[in-house]
Structure 1
């Protein structure tokens, strides 16, 4: 602590000095002409500044204590969970893009393809957004973000588990349903224009002929069924009233279509169930974190130094009494 400067006309009070100035211990006579004693008060703002700094330090300690209400291990587990959740969302989007590329045939949509791919895109995007929200809420210990995350997890768990169980029940009967639906399109030469156009492009891309057989076209076999014996597996057939001979693809198109539709369905089913289980786990973790934030904070002892210095009186000049 720095020593205060006093006016030159004043002297500081030291042991051995009386209020009348230095004395001689032997004869108690003044050894010299005393100088007036002055008391230099603290400035008016100094005590309040010291107290304010001490209170600010206490407030910072209190805020730090409040920011550590959530168990650090639980917070790390929750953040890692959300990172994994975001990776799952990215994988879903990548699978949707891959399915779109593999099942794209001449710019046409294969039956049942569009709905499944769009659902994958939506689930992947929503999963990534929710995981980012959860990681932010855990890192910042934001109760609002964690509550929104919890609500999304509850809705997601109910929706995805319900959709997954429904798809699991329907999946065994799906092949028979698809077969009945495609057989209803026969014969292809009398089908609607869009059906014939899709089948024609399907045959050109997949190198197949007819849905179930080349006879699906009856006597009007299109050029897309014609096959090159040197490149593909072909068969010689006769058709029409003139018994024309042609080499067509041995492979039919329906097994390929069925495989693609069942593949997309299985991927969607796995995504539904996986996200449902992850959403349930996220709901449990976020509930624990919100519960910890709602607990009363531990008591924090505020230690304020007692440096309250009362304002001293004005300067007062004291003189030695006259000698007798």
Structure 2
């Protein structure tokens, strides 16, 4: 005999289906971000791998927990539902621990990024930084993080083509190393483009974190009710005893 209310079971099933969809969306977003950034030449941006790995893990774990919850409700398994409840508690706490500090830091993100990237200047003091900067410059047609002066020796990746010069995208500057050598380099700097990607990934991470936190809270409520029904299947019948005496007397009054 079923011990869980059928309507509650259906609501919980719909909830877990939606939970599975959210997990799948997180995985698709991670795949899309990886493809988009690789296609745009952002494969060298620092922190991308960690954030994408976070999205992949969140998506996979979310889907597995949702399957566990659906199984527990369908089979009316106390163990599965209790495991699901524990996961929801830890999941909601984890998402809030990640999401709240990230939301607080987000308005300061640009300042933090500026301070961090300023430490890379001059860009040609390190081979790794130089290679990363040149790859970004070639892809996005920009020069330097904040200015062409970020380079001690301006590389060819900063140099404009004749068509771009005609379009007004360039400026003529003197090479910092050879003062007599003049180059036509991109007026656009690279930091705004990099910042766009950082903010884009941060917004996705925030949206995923708080969405999962809300879903985890809802999952906690639903699973707690079902566990209660499994442990106290006849609880509803006890409610009759709390009726006022007069109504109870009428309720039990013998029919003639």
TM-score by length of 2: 0.85
**How much has 1:115 moved relative to structure 2?**
1.5
**How much has 1:296 moved relative to structure 2?**
4.0
Q: Is 1:274 aligned to residue 227 of structure 2?
A: no
2:173 counterpart (206, 217, 237): 237
Say which SS state the counterpart of residue 174 (structure 2) adopts: strand
Q: Is 1:160 aligned to residue 95 of structure 2?
A: yes
Say which SS state the counterpart of residue 235 (structure 1) adopts: strand
- CA distances 1:4-40 after superposition (whole Å, capped 9, x unpaired): xxxxxxxxxxxxxxxxxxxxxxxxxxxxxxxxxxxxx
**How much has 1:242 moved relative to structure 2?**
4.3
Say which SS state the counterpart of residue 54 (structure 2) adopts: helix
- CA distances 1:152-195 after superposition (whole Å, capped 9, x unpaired): 00110111112111111111222111101111111112x21111
Distance 1:107 1:113 in 2: 9
**How much has 1:289 moved relative to structure 2?**
0.6
1:225 counterpart (158, 165, 171): 158
8 A Cα contact 1:103 1:113, kept in partner: no
Paired residues in the alignment total 230
Q: Is 1:254 aligned to residue 211 of structure 2?
A: no
Distance 2:172 2:80 in 1: 68
**How much has 1:297 moved relative to structure 2?**
4.9
**Structure 2 unaligned regions, length at least 5:** 236-256
Query: Structure 1 256/107 Cα, relative in aligned 2: closer, same or farther at 3 Å?
Result: closer
| Superposition misfits of 4+ residues, deviation over 3 angstroms | 105-108
Normalized per residue, the structure richer in helix is: 2
User: What RMSD over aligned residues (CA atoms) do the two structures have, in Å?
Assistant: 1.7
Distance 2:119 2:210 in 1: 33
Distance 2:215 2:179 in 1: 64
* 1:209 equivalent in structure 2: 143
- CA distances 1:263-318 after superposition (whole Å, capped 9, x unpaired): 111111111111001000001000001111111459xxxxxxxxxxxxxxxxxxxx
Pairing of 1:138-217 with structure 2 (within 5 A): 138-189=73-124, 191-217=125-151
Say which SS state the counterpart of residue 230 (structure 1) adopts: helix
Distance 1:280 1:256 in 2: 37
Query: Structure 1 107/124 Cα, relative in aligned 2: closer, same or farther at 3 Å?
Result: same
Say which SS state the counterpart of residue 162 (structure 2) adopts: coil
**How much has 1:227 moved relative to structure 2?**
1.3
Distance 1:155 1:115 in 2: 21
* 1:112 equivalent in structure 2: 47
